[in-house]
Structure 1
């Protein structure tokens, strides 16, 4: 999808669901058909860096 196409509400809901399931930004991006950077920006925009930090730390453990 083009970078200029805004996220739809269903995509935002899927991002939230993926985060609750413990999925990485890359996994969520692949799941919704968007680049992981889109997921990262959306998380930063809506909930701030604390979620980003927690996801990064969780992914490093594996």
Structure 2
């Protein structure tokens, strides 16, 4: 995927672990896109949730929560 291809896309990241790839993809799809990550092991998901900024891009921290 090229960076210019991702804007506005909806992406499913299966087996996402701690979410490093999901975070990278979220930057590519931007505020109009969506990334959903799933993993069968809850431990990496719990760690990933702690790393997520709930604010939509372009809004101050917490404004979108």
* TM-score above 0.5: no
Which protein, 1 or 2, shows the higher relative CO under an 8 Å CA cutoff with sep ≥ 6?
Answer: 2
> Could you state the TM-score of these two structures normalised by the residue count of structure 1?
0.32
Structure having the larger proportion of residues in helix = 1
> Could you state the TM-score of these two structures normalised by the residue count of structure 2?
0.31
Structure having the larger proportion of residues in strand = 2
